Chains A and B, each alone.
Chain A
């Protein structure tokens, strides 16, 4: 893991942005608490040091006495796990560089969903032309994968 790299990231809408000084370890956690908070099969978490919020601040849900879970109040993106010791783990998918690192280990494998081991073997969608046409038609309101001077972007926002 590129321990000295400066790491930036944030939520889908861009209301909350962060910077971390150092990445320590990339872990996949299978516990049901992590599954639920990410709405997914597991939580991909990068243990970081020197985290600062550079735009906005997350909301926090105290999921137990051991942890607070940070998320964007405006778009819901899961952003971090804050342990009772004050240590932060950021969600790997919220990092600007989606190719950042690789998971190094799994924890709480006892709670692993059986489908996990089969995921890489799932067939690929074969209508690639249709998929490409759909993707080309998307007008994204997602914050770009880099820091920006101004926010919000000209378009996007909430369905209100």
Chain B
């Protein structure tokens, strides 16, 4: 079985220089270990598809929930944004005011700060419009005088205070009443910023949960490979070397969950798009349902990867220290 072999002195001599490996080789080996760790940990996850899939699903759910709420909120904001563009202040003038006086007022207001545009709707025009659209044509023809006042339609500059403008216009001479019909848009906006905070809080909680889930999963993985870690440490593995495969496993859990989450979101939006299109047809609205998009999905996946890595780091820092020797 064994070949008779003479002691070879030369072998020992080459052994003495083994620690002087070239830096380039070390760097190559470092990259090689990174890629083998990455592939090896992925293969390990795929080796137990059942339990890995469950972890991926849990991660995906923890990511999908806040992402879906965020997408919903984004769409609402887009909708509210459309309404805000049509935000308008109607200033009803005194019926005694003549068209010429109204035009003077219009020119004056045009120069006001916070005003983008002012249009004058004369009483006669208002009546024509009313007759055409209200369906009360005959009745209106029978009126002996025009009951409608002139209206100045003020388009506020975006970002200016509606309330201040409202007060200012109300104080103007010749103005009977001022109406901001879109007050509820502001309220909606307030509500949405509140909702945004709630979603952010929820996202933070779920992110924390995700970190703990990945951490716990990897704690078990570390326990299962305890013997291997011990032996590796005894033959001179650094902590970084021992950590690496687990950190990659965390990254894979996170990235996989992120990919699943973006698929879930795309699927959900796909299911919703049909009814939304029908609703749009009914209301002649130009609203389109917006998803995360390519960049958003990538961000979601990256966020998953980052959180998975954080969870792995947590588990590794806590549990590798407990495995003796140091």
A and B interact physically: no
Binding site for A on B (CB under 8 A): none
